[in-house]
Amino acid sequence: MRAFDFAAANHVNQAIRLATVDSAYLAGGTTLVDLMKLDVLTPRQVIDINALNLRGIRLDQSGLRLGAMERMADVAADADVGAEYPVIVQALLLSASGQVRNMASIGGNLLQRTRCGYFRDVTTPCNKRAPGSGCPARTGENRSHAILGTSPACVATHASDLAVALVALDARIRLRGRDGERVVDLAEFYRLPGTTPHVENDLRPGELITEVLVPRLPWARRSSYVKIRDRSSFEFALTSAAVAMDLRGSTVHNVRIAVGGVGTRPWRLPAVEAALRGRPATERDFTEAAALAAEGAQPLAHNGFKVTLVQRTIVRALLGLAGAR
């Protein structure tokens, strides 16, 4: 780890004022500290923001509001969140370990960096870490990498389970920086890699996520998060599916679907959603709709299995919500 200056902020405006282009904000530290130890991230200044008043879990007629400094474990344990948005709770509980969830913040989780091994190994090229150096994952070990939203410059997957659930729910985030406050759709906040994979999101220098806003969706009570991984604990998704379904009798009236583990950002599936609306809630109909999930996929040498796996993951999630066997 390289030397850095340390500062602590007591309020949001102070944190923003202290920040420079070479600063990093420290909340739970579960990603930042790891990457600093590896010399993947080398900020000249670290600003501790744990004293900021960015807490709160509030549910009202407009929806759910989560303070960015809320810990993952506390949100997962909230009874109202569990009742109204079970997909959020399940995504959180399937993330990392209990110890990490006790420390990691909601805002930090949404900003976590990819777990691509080439990104985390400073002895190898990586366009995310060193723009223009190359993407060895395209021809090297790529079993865990993305099949959707990739580019010649990057095939790394987005790491957050929570972000997949929130994108399925049309969540927005509130940001505050030197130019004031703004609210953006989470789905649009994340950028495709294109030719600039090192620019992963729309966060401006010194800007903070202050709040997550999830719109009211009564039928999100019928929602779930299914995660497929190599081991049952502390492992990132090979594929995952966040699904909320409005079931009227035996017919799908409405549905929201986003998938993880397969895209360079949380991947919403409007074509699959459209194919399901008005259809019977049967395994056959679910399977036909889920076949559209891999449209545009560009599998690599070792991750072609994800095309079928993501389709089956969606069907599994839908069957669980429909009560089918």
For 76-102, write each residue's pLDDT tens digit.
999 999 999 999 999 999 998 999 999
CATH 3.30.465.10 domain locations along the chain:
57-111+159-215
CATH 3.30.43.10 domain locations along the chain:
1-53
Give the N- to C-terminal CA distance of the chain in Å, as an integer: 52
Residue 324 has pLDDT above 90, yes or no: no
Using alpha carbons, select from 97, 126, 91 the residue that is nearest to residue 110.
91
> Domain 57-111+159-215 adopts which CATH fold?
3.30.465
For 158-188, write each residue's pLDDT tens digit.
999 999 999 999 999 999 999 999 999 999 9
- Mean of all residue pLDDT scores within the chain: 96
Q: Under a CB-based contact definition with an 8 Å cutoff, are residues 158 and 265 in contact?
A: yes
Helix (H) or strand (E) holding 120: helix 117-120
pLDDT at 222: 97
CATH 3.30.390.50 domain locations along the chain:
221-322
Using alpha carbons, select from 161, 164, 169 the residue that is nearest to residue 81.
169
Using alpha carbons, select from 138, 259, 271 the residue that is nearest to residue 193.
138
Using alpha carbons, select from 192, 243, 194 the residue that is nearest to residue 221.
243
Q: What does the alpha-carbon distance between residue 249 and residue 281 come to, in Å, rounded to a whole number?
A: 9
Structure tokens belonging to residue 65 = 């509001």
Q: Under a CB-based contact definition with an 8 Å cutoff, are residues 63 and 213 in contact?
A: yes
For 196-233, write each residue's pLDDT tens digit.
999 999 999 999 999 999 999 999 999 999 999 999 88
The average pLDDT across 46-60 equals 97
| 221-322: CATH, from 3.40.640.10, 3.30.499.10, 3.30.390.50, 2.40.40.20 | 3.30.390.50
Instruction: Please tell me the CATH code under which domain 1-53 is placed.
Output: 3.30.43.10
- Quote the pTM value: 0.97
Query: What one-character-per-residue DSSP string does 218-249 give?
Result: GGGGSEEEEEE-SSSSS---SEEEEEEEEEET
Sequence-separated (6 or more) residues with CB below 8 Å from residue 167? 186, 187, 242, 258, 266, 267, 268
pLDDT tier for residue 1 given thresholds of 50, 70 and 90: confident
